[in-house]
């Protein structure tokens, strides 16, 4: 492709709202163009990168026996009502009506539609297993669409769904998908980690996320310094911590004037924070109503909101208003275990089970009390694992990392097949709902993730596998006939060798061309400059910054050999 004829418009200025390198460089390099909040056009460069990622995803999935389909971007609301998700999904689901008052949604994910495709068409265990996927546009009306392609409202996702006769067979496929995803992310050149993820209401260890490690990531991961253990903080566990407390100098209630926070109570009573119980108050939203919840954790711990949400089976936890607390008789700062009210749910962190003398609010102003944690309370794992905690698998030291979620695999079971009545006949002629798995990859997000992991202060650094073009052929001075002729010759040669090349034949200064080369981040620049008259050209390697002066007759081979090495 000749640069002079291409739609590549690089910019000097970054968009004002851009904080991430990927967002800045995608806009400045002319990969994408903003249309509306969270909605972008892909320009030719962006489209080429996305297509390469798409091709790798497809290649690996097809090799693993998956079949590609394409479901409608618009899905009838009816299907979402059948699964019960129409109401529950919240505002991210864009609902609309057509001219005949038919209700529809823009697909944010396609469990319902895929189950609908399979039910009726697959009737016997003999037709199973089946793994169907698509790579197409999704829409989620994200409250905080930001960071360019990282969190769009409209984005490209690969979503796959597998159908099985048994749970064991679904597990086999789940493991196969984990292996396949690892191959995909390795081919994409990413530094990633597979971590245990929150499985929501389904629970269990049935869900894994693939995290591209990056400070730009919005997810916090907990990783072990000794073994393979890794988990999203929403699902991370730690070895239970036990404490020996000294005998308390008081029994029952104690006056703690103005001591509301854990720090204040700990200082006032001269007791460790681990012995004081903190109440975190939230409002839980359910399908049919809302409730105030009290979550109790040690003063030294923090509440993990997703764990808390799962513990009460809520759709969401939000902050409660002071008036709501007042109405229920909750005195912030002094509410404790034992506060009972029909309209309140209480959950205590599992690590507090069995404690015989901890300090908790006395449920009246300026008083705390020493109690034993009641055995018949509701317990759940509620805490956010902290750096320095011990690994649940091997006892190693845990630390936090940031990651970008680029993939998610999930053991669904019968969650959708049951309500949608999608069944088959098993070996004994018995009707059963399909056992399912679901597998997602954020294809457009991967473009941003790749840049986050590979860039410098000048621009992107693409790996050979997903670079928009492998070679940027640059003519130093377009007016020098010798340079132009040699570059034309090299261009033919590069094309003949099937090396994807952008030929920068623009009538602009050499500096401009080099800046664009670095900003866009092509793996190689082949520079035809002053040495052209001696039959020599220069090759620049974007990733290492290496420069080599080579005979022009050797240049194409030099690059193609190098490309083979990186691949
Ligand atoms: P997140 O926690 O980042 O919002 P999610 O858990 O809601 O993601 P899934 O429903 O698991 O996402 O979707 C599958 C994949 O699609 C994710 O792993 C992610 O890579 C990608 N993805 C999800 N939401 C977006 C978005 N708004 N923009 C771009 N990619 C997205
Ligand atoms: Mg997810």
One pLDDT digit (tens) per residue for the chain, 567 residues: 999 999 999 999 998 889 999 999 999 999 999 999 999 999 999 999 999 999 999 999 999 999 999 999 999 999 999 999 998 888 899 999 999 999 999 999 999 999 999 999 999 999 999 999 999 999 999 988 889 999 999 999 999 999 999 999 999 999 999 999 999 999 999 999 999 999 875 555 589 999 999 999 999 999 999 999 999 999 999 999 889 998 888 888 999 998 999 999 999 999 999 999 999 999 999 988 999 999 999 999 999 999 999 999 998 999 999 999 999 999 988 999 989 888 899 999 999 999 999 999 999 999 999 999 999 999 999 999 999 999 999 999 999 999 999 999 999 999 999 999 999 999 999 999 999 999 999 999 999 999 999 999 999 999 999 999 999 999 999 899 999 999 999 999 999 999 999 999 999 999 999 999 999 999 999 999 999 999 999 999 999 999 999 999 999 999 999 998 876
For the Cβ of 138 lying below 6 angstroms from any atom of ligand 1, the answer is: no
Alpha carbon distance 93, 110 (integer Å): 12
Cβ count near 399 (within 10 Å): 15
For the Cβ of 185 lying below 6 angstroms from any atom of ligand 1, the answer is: no
For the Cβ of 151 lying below 6 angstroms from any atom of ligand 1, the answer is: yes
> What's the N-to-C CA distance of the chain in angstroms?
23
Nearest atom in ligand 1 to the alpha carbon of residue 209 is 18
What pTM did the predictor assign?
0.93
Helix and strand element counts for the chain (H, E): 13, 29
Alpha carbon distance 484, 475 (integer Å): 7
List the shell of residues around ion ligand 2, using CB closer than 5 Å: 408
- Three-state DSSP at 369 gives strand
Alpha carbon distance 139, 157 (integer Å): 10
Ligand 1: which residue has its CA nearest to atom 16?
442
279, containing H or E segment: strand 277-286
Q: Are 165 and 432 in contact (CB under 8 A)?
A: yes
- At 114, phi and psi to the nearest 5? -70, -40
Query: For a substitution probing ligand 1, which of 38, 57, 157, 443 has the most ligand atoms within 8 Å of its CB?
Result: 157
- At 194, phi and psi to the nearest 5? -90, 125
453, containing H or E segment: helix 443-453
Nearest atom in ligand 1 to the alpha carbon of residue 159 is 14
Helix, strand, coil tally for the chain in percent (to 5): 30, 30, 40
Alpha carbon distance 387, 399 (integer Å): 4
Ligand 1: which residue has its CA nearest to atom 4?
151
DSSP state of 189: T
Q: Are 383 and 304 in contact (CB under 8 A)?
A: yes
The per-residue b/e assignment along 405-430, b for 16 or more CB within 10 angstroms, e otherwise, is bbbbbbbbbbbbbebbebbbeeeeee
Q: Are 212 and 221 in contact (CB under 8 A)?
A: no
Ligand 1: which residue has its CA nearest to atom 18?
407
């Amino acid at each position: 492709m000749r640069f002079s004829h291409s739609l590549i418009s690089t910019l000097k200025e970054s968009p004002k709202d851009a904080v991430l390198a990927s967002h800045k460089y995608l806009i400045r390099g002319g990969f994408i163009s903003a249309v509306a909040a969270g909605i972008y056009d892909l320009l030719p460069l962006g489209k080429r990168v996305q297509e390469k990622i798409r091709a790798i995803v497809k290649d690996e999935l097809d090799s693993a026996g998956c079949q590609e389909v394409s479901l409608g971007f618009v899905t009838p609301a009816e299907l979402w009502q059948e699964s019960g998700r129409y109401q529950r999904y919240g505002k991210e689901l864009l609902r609309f009506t057509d001219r005949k008052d038919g209700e529809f949604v823009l697909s944010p994910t396609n469990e319902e539609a895929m189950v609908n495709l399979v039910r009726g068409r697959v009737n016997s265990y003999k037709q199973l297993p089946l793994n169907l996927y698509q790579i197409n546009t999704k829409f989620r009306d994200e409250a905080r669409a930001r960071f360019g392609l990282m969190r769009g409202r409209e984005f490209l996702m690969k979503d796959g769904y597998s159908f099985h006769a048994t749970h064991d067979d679904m597990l086999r496929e789940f493991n196969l998908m984990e292996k396949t995803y690892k191959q995909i992310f390795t081919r994409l050149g990413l530094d990633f980690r597979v971590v245990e993820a929150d499985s929501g209401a389904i629970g269990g260890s049935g869900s894994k996320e693939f995290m591209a490690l990056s400070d730009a990531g919005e997810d916090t991961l907990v990783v072990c310094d000794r073994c393979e253990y890794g988990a999203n903080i929403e699902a991370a566990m730690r070895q239970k911590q036990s404490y020996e407390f000294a005998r308390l100098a008081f029994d029952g209630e104690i006056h703690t004037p103005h001591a509301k926070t854990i720090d204040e109570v700990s200082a006032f009573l001269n007791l460790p924070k681990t012995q004081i119980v903190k109440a975190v108050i939230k409002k839980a939203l359910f399908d049919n109503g809302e409730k105030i919840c009290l979550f109790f954790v040690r003063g030294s711990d923090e509440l993990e909101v997703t764990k808390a949400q799962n513990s009460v089976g809520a759709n969401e936890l939000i902050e409660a208003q002071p008036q709501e607390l007042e109405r229920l008789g909750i005195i912030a700062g002094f509410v404790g275990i034992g506060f009972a009210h029909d309209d309140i749910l209480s959950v205590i962190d599992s690590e507090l089970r069995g404690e015989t003398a901890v300090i908790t609010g006395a449920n009246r102003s300026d008083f705390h009390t020493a109690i034993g944690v009641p055995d018949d309370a509701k317990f759940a794992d509620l805490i956010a694992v902290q750096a320095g905690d011990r690994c649940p698998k091997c006892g190693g030291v845990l630390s936090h990392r940031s990651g970008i979620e680029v993939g998610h695999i999930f053991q669904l079971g019968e969650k959708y097949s049951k309500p949608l009545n999608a069944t088959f006949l098993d070996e004994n002629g018995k009707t059963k709902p399909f056992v399912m798995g679901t597998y997602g990859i954020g294809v457009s997000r991967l473009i941003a993730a790749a840049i986050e992991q590979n860039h410098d202060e000048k621009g992107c650094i693409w790996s050979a596998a997903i670079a928009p073009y492998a070679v940027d052929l640059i003519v130093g001075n377009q007016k020098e006939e010798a340079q132009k002729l040699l570059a034309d010759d090299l261009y033919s040669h590069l094309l003949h060798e099937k090396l994807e090349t952008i030929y920068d034949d623009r009538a602009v200064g050499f500096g401009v061309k080099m800046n664009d080369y670095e900003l866009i981040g092509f793996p190689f620049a082949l520079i035809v400059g002053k040495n052209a008259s001696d039959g020599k050209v220069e090759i620049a390697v974007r990733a290492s910054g290496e420069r080599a002066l080579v005979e022009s007759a050797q240049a194409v081979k030099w690059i193609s050999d190098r490309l083979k090495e990186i691949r």
